[in-house]
């Protein structure tokens, strides 16, 4: 940001910079010309903070040091750092957001029950447009590392996200109601989904992301709530998944609370290394058995492809396409799959239900082609 007005946080290392940062951001946001807020090298305490516009000109925040959250288990709070309602926002600098999540993980039971007290998301981007987020790290989040809501035209690159593989609900990047987001050249190793795509997401491009450990890259879950919006235009290319509990996954709830469509979802040029369930469409996703599996999912899946996926599986279920008997998957393409499994219960398998995939190139394991269940009157 050339010739930008610069607001430096002049605190000494170890101090709490919450009020200083809020003051600097407020001044930058009111500036009539582009401005920059710089957090220098060092370690700083940072309390809950919301930096919201609209601003009079673009704002850039450069984090060079490490900001650390309260290390206590703060239940009932849903946020730590929020950037909201800005156009032309930039966040960069090579610094670290440390969520200090260790105490929170011990009391977090949200992976076991719906009725749990929420924990703070580390970094939230709410309704941020034309944004560039690059060269930052998030470690040890109490809950999600990064949550993106209502974004338009946002590029995230060279993001590094780490937390222990047994840290619950620590999704790397979760997106919802956003259009035109790119996630590029990033590394995510965490205790839940590396990237999770919520309802209302469109035109998402994920490229050159390394994921693992974690729960893979997921579209969904979809259908848990009423008034969800369609998902469309999801493209995941040239990524590597290693030691993850799932690989490339689309998950929808049976007995869904809405009827939406997820369409044009494409995975291509993916390497899997000892990944459990490398390719999975699961329209019977029902954690904690809090739904009726006998009632078919009402989420429609249309125009889905998995192409050039190769490597090794951590279990024999290399490919599982479990589509809804009420709304069978439409136009699913499988091309050039080469996934090996060397376990004692092998070889690898390729299962289908309520889908007849179009097969391109060679398939290993050998692909199935199950009959499509017809609805009455079809």
Catalytic residues: 215
As a whole number of angstroms, the distance between CA 281 and CA 251 comes to 6
CB 164 within 8 A of CB 149: no
CB 144 within 8 A of CB 118: no
CB 159 within 8 A of CB 133: yes
Segment (H or E) for 30: helix 18-30
Q: How far is CA 106 from CA 130, 143, 168, 273, 288, in A?
A: 38, 12, 9, 29, 19
Q: What is the DSSP letter of 289?
A: G
CB 193 within 8 A of CB 227: no
As a whole number of angstroms, the distance between CA 371 and CA 310 comes to 26
Q: What does R_g of the chain's alpha carbons equal in angstroms?
A: 22
Strands (E), 129-229: 129-139, 146-149, 152-162, 173-176, 179-189, 195-197, 202-211, 217-222
As a whole number of angstroms, the distance between CA 31 and CA 7 comes to 11
CB 178 within 8 A of CB 198: no
**CA angle, 84 as apex, 82 and 85 as ends, to 5°?**
175
| Closest alpha carbon to 299 in 249, 258, 264, 333 | 258
CB 37 within 8 A of CB 11: no
């Amino acid at each position: 940001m050339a010739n930008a007005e610069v607001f430096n946080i002049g605190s000494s290392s170890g101090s709490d910079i919450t009020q200083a940062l809020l003051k600097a951001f407020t001044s930058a946001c009111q500036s009539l010309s582009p401005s920059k807020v710089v957090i220098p090298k060092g370690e700083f305490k940072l309390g809950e903070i919301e930096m919201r516009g609209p601003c009079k000109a673009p704002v850039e925040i450069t984090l060079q040091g490490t900001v650390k959250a309260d290390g206590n288990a703060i239940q009932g709070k849903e946020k730590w750092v929020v950037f909201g309602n800005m156009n032309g926002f930039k966040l960069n600098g090579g610094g670290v957001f440390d969520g200090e999540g260790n105490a929170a993980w011990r009391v977090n039971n949200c992976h076991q029950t719906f009725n749990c007290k929420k924990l703070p998301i580390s970094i939230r981007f709410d309704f941020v447009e034309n944004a560039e987020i690059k060269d930052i790290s998030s470690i040890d989040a109490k809950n999600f590392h990064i949550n993106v809501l209502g974004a338009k035209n946002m590029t995230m690159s060279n993001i590094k996200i780490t937390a222990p593989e047994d840290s619950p609900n620590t999704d790397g990047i979760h997106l919802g109601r956003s259009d035109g987001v790119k996630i590029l050249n990033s590394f995510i190793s965490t205790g839940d989904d590396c990237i999770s795509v919520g309802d209302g997401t469109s035109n998402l491009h994920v490229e050159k992301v390394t994921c693992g450990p974690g729960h893979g890259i997921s579209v969904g879950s979809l259908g848990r709530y009423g008034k969800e919006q369609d998902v469309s235009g999801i493209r995941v290319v040239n990524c590597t998944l290693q030691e993850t509990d799932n690989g490339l996954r689309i998950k929808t709830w049976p007995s869904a609370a809405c009827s939406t469509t997820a369409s044009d979802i494409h995975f291509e040029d993916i390497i899997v290394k000892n990944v459990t369930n490398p390719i999975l469409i699961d329209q019977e996703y029902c954690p904690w058995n809090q739904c009726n599996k006998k009632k078919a999912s009402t989420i429609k899946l249309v125009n889905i492809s998995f192409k050039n996926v190769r490597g090794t599986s951590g279990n024999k279920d290399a490919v599982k396409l479990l589509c809804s008997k009420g709304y069978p998957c439409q136009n699913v393409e499988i091309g050039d799959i080469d996934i090996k499994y060397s376990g004692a219960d092998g070889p690898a398998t390729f299962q289908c239900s309520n889908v007849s995939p179009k097969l391109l190139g060679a398939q290993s394991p050998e692909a199935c082609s199950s009959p499509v269940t017809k609805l009455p009157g079809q």
